[in-house]
Amino acid sequence: MWPFSSLWSTDQSKARVLIAAKRAERDSLLATAPRLTARHEQFLEAGAHEIVSRIGKGEWTAREVVEAYIAQAAQAQTTTNCLTEVVFQQALKRAETLDAEYSATKKLRGPLHGVPFIDIVGFDTSIGFTTWANKPAITNAVLVDQLISLGAIPIAKTNVPQTMFSFECNNPLWGRTTNPYNSNYTCGGSSGGEAALLAMDGSAIGIGSDVGGSLRIPAAYCGVYGLKTSFGRVSRAGAHSSNPAFEGIKSITGPMARNVKDLELFCKVIFGLQDERHLDYTFVPMPFHQLELPKQLKFGYYTSASPATARAVMETVEALQRQGHECIEIELPDVSDCLEIYLALISADGYKRMTSPLGPDPMEPSLILPVYGSRIPPFLRRFGAWFAESILGDSLFAKFIRASRIKSVFEMNSWAERRNKWNAMFYEKVWNHYGLDGIICPVQAMPQIPHGGSTTVNSLVISTAVYNLVDSPVGIVPVTHVNGLKDQVTEAWLSPGSNGRSVLMEKRLYTAAKPMYNPVDMDGLPVSVQIIGRKWEDEKVLAMMSVVDDALGPNRGFGPRGFANHARL
């Protein structure tokens, strides 16, 4: 046996021991959670804004609230495997400290007093790498310190995919997180664990990251609300990442919640909040500004997606029109050019930095095609692109094969220049040409994907990545649920190359022996829409989300206890 093989085997054995130990540690801490009782229901039904209000009136205590969410978080873990690091006892002690402080002063610590959320110093941020396990953070991210200073209480950390570069949620260290609505489907990624926890009322406010849809996709898959902020509105100083210095597409941090009011609460207290101890040069000191929308808004919309996601868009449009708002169908510039630029930028180093911590861990299947595809020799790449275009008839796939490769600094700069020109063109041909307040569109062509689905349909990310490229603020609003009868495929969806999609992807989605789009199997899963605004108009996006949410009405099965009520049906 080669000595390198022996060393590799030893590393894998150590990794297996570490994985077993970390999971056993988590299980022992989960066992300390209080039992969920009927008394907890009132706290779980409340949004973050109501929690703060009721504690401020002396009607509830922070300990009562945190105890309820801890009990529910343990239930969510049993159902979905969403938790990683568990800090229940520390959370209860922090709640007791806040209660004692309030009892003595009759003043709240801050506008998030007693609100449960995730993350804390002194615990691992492993991103699913065994090589990063048992290496607890020495300091909190700036955002976490800000939330704690405002009275919020961290109760746990949640699962993410290996490298955080996937819209599923699986890794060798913590395993797979499932969708609360259907365990055969993914909760999304990368912020999948937090979306699953929120959907099951195990947290009041969550924090997600987004570099291609990593916050929006899981929010949509799990039927919760989310906001991809403009870059710089929320500090990322101290946040852990597998590729922290990447400049091609900026990663942002934003809130996730169970209603729009809680997203707005987060943004009101975090936007513009400076931390003098940890100055973040990328942070934009722009405080939240309340705005008043005109009585009639002008929305653009497009529906190029599956029947279920198209229905969600049209139900939203019709609801807005009933309220007197103008909605016009629009056409975007060729978004395949956008995805080509996106792939070219993110693959520039062959994903070497992102995958460098893998060590003995097996690479997740969803990463294999993009990672190794970016590293193939030039002659194989040329052949692959020719084969896709000339034999398979898929020019889109061929374009992506050519773009996904290692690049020189000169080439990287050229692609960055193309990005800037595409962004300028997008603003001219969409925002300026149509004169819109906002855009309504599907989150993805698919309302959900089954576990392992992203290995063959990674290009679904095009519908979210376009708004990372142009750095638009984007909100996620859950609209409806997949209906096995209403959302069947029609002849229009079976037309090869329809709606500007890849021929290969369309086949996988609609006409394969086992098509991924199956509304009967998906029946009951959430379907959401994106609400998009211009760069820096985050507050306007929040306001438009409220308009959309109100127009759709309250009886859609979302919000606090929305999943619990849906599960009882």
Q: Is 166 annotated as a binding residue?
A: no
Q: Is 212 annotated as a binding residue?
A: yes
In 495-538, at which residue ranges do the beta strands (DSSP E only) sit? 526-532
Burial grade of 245 (CB within 10 A; 0-12, 13-18, 19 or more): exposed
Q: Is 211 annotated as a binding residue?
A: yes
Question: For the stretch 497-521, what's the b/e string if a residue is b when 16 or more beta carbons lie within 10 angstroms of its beta carbon?
Answer: eeeebbbbbbebbbeeeeebbbbeb
CA neighbor of 521 nearest in space, from 458, 471, 466, 448: 448
Residue carrying the six token digits 């009721």: 54
Q: Is 395 annotated as a binding residue?
A: no
H or E element at residue 157: strand 153-158
The CA distance from 339 to 249, in Å, is 12
Q: Among the residues of 323-446, which ranges form H helices?
A: 335-346, 352-355, 365-373, 378-386, 395-403, 409-426, 433-434
Q: Are 202 and 72 in contact (CB under 8 A)?
A: yes
Amino acid at 119: D
CB atoms within 10 A of CB 545: 25
Burial grade of 35 (CB within 10 A; 0-12, 13-18, 19 or more): exposed
Does the CA dihedral 47-52-55-56 come out positive or negative? negative
CA neighbor of 488 nearest in space, from 459, 515, 508: 515
The CA distance from 265 to 152, in Å, is 12
The CA distance from 423 to 535, in Å, is 11
CA neighbor of 395 nearest in space, from 385, 381, 405, 403: 385
Q: Is 190 annotated as a binding residue?
A: yes
CA distances from 148 to 18, 23, 110 (A): 30, 27, 9
Q: Is 527 annotated as a binding residue?
A: no
Q: What is the 3-state secondary structure (H, E, C) of 531-544?
A: EECCCCCHHHHHHH
The CA distance from 317 to 479, in Å, is 11
Q: Are 530 and 440 in contact (CB under 8 A)?
A: yes
Residue carrying the six token digits 């989150």: 443
Which residues define the annotated binding site? 164, 190, 211-214
Which residues define the annotated binding site for substrate? 164, 190, 211-214
